[in-house]
Amino acid sequence: MKKLSFIGMIAGLMVFFGSCDKNNEKGEESTSGKVIIQFEHYADGAPLVYDSMMYVNEAGNHYEVTEIQWFISDIVLKNKDGDTLLLDKDDFAHYVDTNLPDTWVWEIQDDIPATEYQSISMTFGIKGEKNKPYMFTDPPESDMLWPYPLGGDEGGYHYMKLNGFWVNTNNERQPFNFHLGVGQERDGEGNIIGFIQNWFESELPSSAFTLSDSETKVITIRMDVENWWKDPNTYDHNIHGSKVMQNQEAMRMGCENGRNVFSIGSITTKPVP
């Protein structure tokens, strides 16, 4: 019996390697490359300048930005055949902080099939079923915790904190905390009766690229800050005030505008060392 088992194993190995040889002869061997995501923040067509009251939004608000912290998650590539590939399933979300240069790069760990890709899409924030409270235990990610009473079991973390100042109607420099996350449904007395998921998916325009075997593509995703305040909604800080975490109408307007915030800055090939 042992002899027959050994012979059977050898025969199986021969079939396996024979199959691999046939695949190689047909040119069907698997090839792959890597992708690195970089992040940049722009306003008025140029890199964002911080702590300077130099910008004017569509509502006429003079404003400045001090810092931005946000989550991007669930990056999906669509190939030329229309099939989709979710990147980095084990580390699906990445934290970006304008104060922390180390967060401006996301090195995707996956080996990505070498082929033509027709688009890149992303999720702004974290989808509700994945956005669990207390899943991040260390800062800076843990500092993005969304208050549990304002988001419940699927309200875990802010999608974004965009902080700055604007000049109000009294010509006073007023702080704003444009913080986006899970919204609240309220009854006539203002009591919370449900939650609203404000995360959104965005397919990035002009994001097609070709990945060759053993190649690394560096893809820059750009946030255009001024677009948070326009199209389709004109967002006025004088109307919505300094804080919006409990203002679903303001968050809805911001997230609807957010679909026009992100674009591709560049797609380049990383030089081989």
30 pLDDT band (50/70/90 cuts)?
confident
Mean pLDDT of the chain: 91
**Alpha carbon distances (Å) from 74 to 5, 18, 88, 92, 271:** 46, 38, 8, 5, 27
How many Å apart are CA 151 and CA 13, to the nearest integer?
55
Q: Which phi and psi angles does 267 have, rounded to 5°?
A: -130, 115
pLDDT value of residue 20: 43
State pLDDT tens for residues 54-95.
999 999 999 999 999 999 999 999 999 999 999 987 889 999
Q: Residue 103 corresponds to which tokens in the numbers above?
A: 């967060």
State pLDDT tens for residues 215-251.
999 999 999 999 999 999 999 999 999 999 999 999 9
How many Å apart are CA 234 and CA 237, to the nearest integer?
10
CB atoms within 10 A of CB 199: 22
- Pair type for strands 32-43 and 216-224: parallel
Q: Which phi and psi angles does 152 have, rounded to 5°?
A: 70, -155
Q: What is the mean pLDDT of residues 16-45?
A: 71
pLDDT value of residue 89: 79
pLDDT value of residue 29: 66
How many Å apart are CA 211 and CA 113, to the nearest integer?
8
Q: Which amino acid is at 122?
A: M
Q: Residue 189 corresponds to which tokens in the numbers above?
A: 């007395």
Domain map (residue ranges) of the chain: 35-269
Helix (H) or strand (E) holding 96: strand 93-97
- For the cut 90, the answer to whether the pLDDT of residue 5 exceeds it is no
26 pLDDT band (50/70/90 cuts)?
very low
How many Å apart are CA 237 and CA 247, to the nearest integer?
13
CB atoms within 10 A of CB 197: 17
